[in-house]
Chains A and B, each alone.
Chain A
């Protein structure tokens, strides 16, 4: 955790008490039920999360025709897969995938706030919401990517996608070398939310020791 979060304990304890007080009052007044907040959080455990995006990416890696369909019509291609229902649900009503490849690197950002494709990626990580990423990602994306450990060659075009209207973007990262014999499920396990926003490359697993 970065030093930004080294607040004194009081600050977090007060917020924790205040949010519990708010939830208690809203339940008491009939605004929400005592099982309402848990129902939301459960959805992001079971239904919407980066595990969906990882499966979509893995399929695109093993099936080039699927990858083409995914880029051309993302919702239709996602509907082909046996993923949970609700992939066009809240914050995924209109999603579009873009592909990294030789000579092109994509970076997704929301400079105004935190637009993020919930059904396939779940909720945005802190870095995505942090004002520094949002300010610098459009001004100096290559410098930002270097800080994330992703050097991008000068000859490679960087495409920055600022989500501000209706479309929620995600990235199909490049398949790492040395993964030829891997199953789709094994490949999916390599794909991180960061890779699907463009701030990480997917790494092949370390070779097993002999």
Chain B
């Protein structure tokens, strides 16, 4: 199993952090922005809904970049490191490495530029605005990238049906919270239509459009009656491949 798949329910972590700031350091804004520009420029958007004119966008970026890319990186981290680094520190590490791995920049370039800005933190960025990219960013943020698709088959489960959550292999990326594996719940809603995730998750099971269900779990069915708080229901939206009929 991977820690990053199974954070829910982990104990002995101490008090919650109440920090309400979105960015706890000013630099974090820039890596959030870079990531979101990459999402707006992602090659897959030419086939997304809506279909964006990515093929003609004047950018050197020719990769697919979605939340799945970011999460695959985070889920592949050594678990101690995952805890050690703050949210946007992990983004900065993962995104920098991605550009190096894909050959857009070299590790040496990044190191020498970093040293330069370390010496002169206020040194100017190159002045090369790009209106077409800017327009695409705004358009992407306003119109999004919906995964809603026509149903490929009749949903296998019905409202009120008891289901058991599957236990697929821990792949590079999943949308199944680990603490729900093997647990019994009840279908609380069968969402209209089907949803397609950004990528196939291989042995984890996400592949093409599939029905999505809201599953209700009694907390005591997850943690055990003597270990859970009373009067508590946990809802999770789960792709069909993560569910099995409950064998009574």
Contacts and interface: CB of A to CB of B under 8 A. Distances in A.
Interface residues of B, number: 104
Interface in B202-243: 212, 214, 219, 222-223, 228-239
B246 interface: no
Interface in A1-34: 1-2, 4-5, 12-34
A159 B177 contact: no
A158 B229 contact: yes
Contacts of B9: 135, 138-139
Given A12-B27, A24-B125, A194-B20, A123 B32 contact: yes
Contact of A93 (B144, B176, B233): B144
Interface residues on A, range: 35 or more
Contact of B22 (A24, A32, A34, A123): A123
Contact of A135 (B8, B128, B138, B144): B8
A167 B192 CA distance: 12
Nearest to B60: A30
A132 interface: yes
Contact of A41 (B11, B29, B116, B118): B29
A132 B17 contact: yes
Interface in A175-196: 193-194
Contact of B212 (A20, A111, A136, A165): A165
Interface string A148-178: 1000001111111111111100000000000
Interface stretch (A55-63, A81-89, A202-210): A81-89
A26 B104 contact: yes
Contacts of A29: 60, 104-105
A72 to B, nearest CB: 12
B234 A148 contact: no
Contacts of B58: 30
Interface string B125-140: 1111111011001101
Given A14-B118, A156-B231, A27 B128 contact: yes
Interface in B7-21: 7-11, 13-21
Contacts of A53: none
B19 A2 contact: yes
B13 A17 contact: no
B148 interface: yes
A132 B24 contact: no
B117 A93 contact: no
Contact of A27 (B87, B126, B174): B126
A34 B34 contact: no
Contacts of B239: 165
A164 to B, nearest CB: 5
A17 B164 CA distance: 48
A32 B31 CA distance: 13
A165 B7 contact: no
A65 to B, nearest CB: 23
A187 to B, nearest CB: 20
20 contacts: A4-B86, A16-B25, A19-B30, A23-B34, A24-B113, A24-B125, A36-B33, A36-B133, A47-B142, A86-B143, A90-B141, A92-B144, A123-B22, A139-B228, A142-B229, A155-B231, A157-B232, A160-B232, A165-B195, A166-B148
Interface of A: 1-2, 4-5, 12-41, 43, 47-48, 85-86, 88-94, 111-114, 122-127, 129-144, 147-148, 154-167, 193-194
6 tightest Cβ-Cβ pairs between the two chains A and B:
A33-B130, A37-B33, A21-B113, A111-B8, A86-B142, A165-B237
Interface of B: 4-5, 7-11, 13-22, 24-27, 29-34, 36-37, 39-41, 58-61, 67, 71, 74, 82-83, 86-87, 89, 92, 95-96, 99, 104-105, 109-110, 113-118, 121, 123, 125-131, 133-134, 137-138, 140-148, 174-177, 179, 191, 195, 212, 214, 219, 222-223, 228-239
